[in-house]
Amino acid sequence: MKKSLFFGALTVAGLAAGAAAAGTLDDVKARGKLNCGVTTGVPGFAEPDANGVWQGFDVAVCRAVAAAVLSDPTAVEFVPTTGKTRFTALASGEIDMLARNTTWTFSRDVDLKFEFTGINYYDGQGFMVPKELGVSSAKDLDGATVCIQTGTTTELNLADFFRSNNISYEPVPIETSAEAQQQYLAGACDVYTTDASGLAATRATFEDPSAHVVLPEIVSKEPLGPLVRHGDHEWGDIVRWTLNAMIAAEELGITSANVAEMAEGTMNPEINRLLGTEGELGAMLGLEADWARNVIASVGNYGEVFEGNIGETTPIGLARGLNAQWTDGGLLYSPPFR
């Protein structure tokens, strides 16, 4: 009796592990579509355009993975998720990956059992207030009402910041960026706090952005990146190396405009390995030899994706800052393709 119970338990555990490890790559290939979790909408990062086509910096990561796996950047089902619903969507298998300004933290990795496959945006939490409040530092916000998105690191950092500065606040909990914007503009809160990139994205859509100031304090580290479930390393490798391919392509000077020519073969062995004219890197991932070529041809390298969606020439207007290549004094550093 005891023995069969013991073996029964083992079988269940074995099955669970098998299910968790079951090939997401095979599922995606069989479905012919990548199910990619994104936000409900943050301008420049992930938002449907006037034709209902999803666009943005995070959207590009989904499209890049679809290009790598299915040779088709349009083969993506975008699944909008909020700060609260995103982790259930990933854990349950509703989505194959999440590419949604999600901060890599210890507990999300170790406790929630997700694998962060890299960082596509180094961010930090900031505060925005109407200029007319005359506030110049976050430390002057004692007693303020603060619009804060639930289920986020923002919520936790806010509590830490106010507590460590011995000041108080009243939270106004909200679910989505759209709601935050609406509540903040309606004066339901004095302050809106989120990742600085999210503040820039929100402010860019205001009728009069200059009537709002982003305060100088950045109170946290928010390394944002794509994530997958624990247990499927083959799939994790594909998402990780797709992002690395975008980052390395910028470093190596490969762009959407010159990738076809470079894929004819170059004098640089790393470019050749990345683009599949030398070595077997694609096969090692379970993909075609031209997987990275497809990524760069369809979405561009990291710099192109940054400049096209959120860079200084866009309404979002973000500088590269920490998100510059390591060769330009930033933190972007892809491991070698060999």
**110 burial level (CB within 10 Å; 0-12, 13-18, 19+):** exposed
The residues facing 214 across adjacent strands are 128
Q: How far is the CB of 68 from ligand GSH (least distance, A)?
A: 24
For residue 94, how far is the Cα from the chain centroid?
17
Of residues 30-49, those binding ligand GSH (CB under 6 A): 39-42
Position among 35, 120, 181, 194 found at the interface with ligand GSH (CB under 6 A): 194
Q: How far is the CB of 79 from ligand GSH (least distance, A)?
A: 11
Determine the residue with CB nearest ligand GSH: 198
Of residues 130-159, those binding ligand GSH (CB under 6 A): 149, 152-154
Q: How far is the CB of 180 from ligand GSH (least distance, A)?
A: 7
* Interface characters, 98-117, with ligand GSH (x: CB under 6 A): ---xxx--------------
Look up residue 2 and give its DSSP letter.
Answer: H
Within 10 A of 221 (CB to CB), how many other CB atoms are there? 15
**Does 220 engage in binding with ligand GSH (CB under 6 A)?**
no
**Does 55 engage in binding with ligand GSH (CB under 6 A)?**
no
Query: How far is 26 from 195, CA to CA, in rounded Å?
Result: 35
* Interface characters, 274-303, with ligand GSH (x: CB under 6 A): ------------------------------
Output the DSSP codes for 31-99: HTSEEEEE-S-BTTTBEE-TTS-EESHHHHHHHHHHHHHHS-TT-EEEEE--TTTHHHHHHTTS-SEE-
**Does 83 engage in binding with ligand GSH (CB under 6 A)?**
yes
**Does 193 engage in binding with ligand GSH (CB under 6 A)?**
no
Which three-class secondary structure state does DSSP give residue 170? strand
- Cβ proximity to ligand GSH, 184 vs 291, nearer residue: 184
- Cβ proximity to ligand GSH, 41 vs 330, nearer residue: 41
- Cβ proximity to ligand GSH, 227 vs 305, nearer residue: 227
Residues in binding contact with ligand GSH, number by CB under 6 A: 20
Q: How far is the CB of 36 from ligand GSH (least distance, A)?
A: 14
| Token couple for 205 | 């859509």
**Does 232 engage in binding with ligand GSH (CB under 6 A)?**
no
Is-contact 98 229, C-beta < 8 A?
no
Stretch that binds ligand GSH, among 95-103, 225-233, 266-274, 279-287 (CB under 6 A): 95-103
Within 10 A of 223 (CB to CB), how many other CB atoms are there? 18
**Does 205 engage in binding with ligand GSH (CB under 6 A)?**
no
Q: How far is the CB of 129 from ligand GSH (least distance, A)?
A: 16
- Cβ proximity to ligand GSH, 81 vs 272, nearer residue: 81
Query: How far is 313 from 254, CA to CA, in rounded Å?
Result: 21
Which three-class secondary structure state does DSSP give residue 172? strand
Query: How far is 123 from 110, CA to CA, in rounded Å?
Result: 21
169-174 and 114-116 beta bridge pairing: unpaired
What's at 225, amino acid-wise? G
Task: Using CB under 6 A, list all residues that contact ligand GSH.
Answer: 39-42, 82-83, 101-103, 149, 152-154, 176-177, 194-195, 198, 222, 224
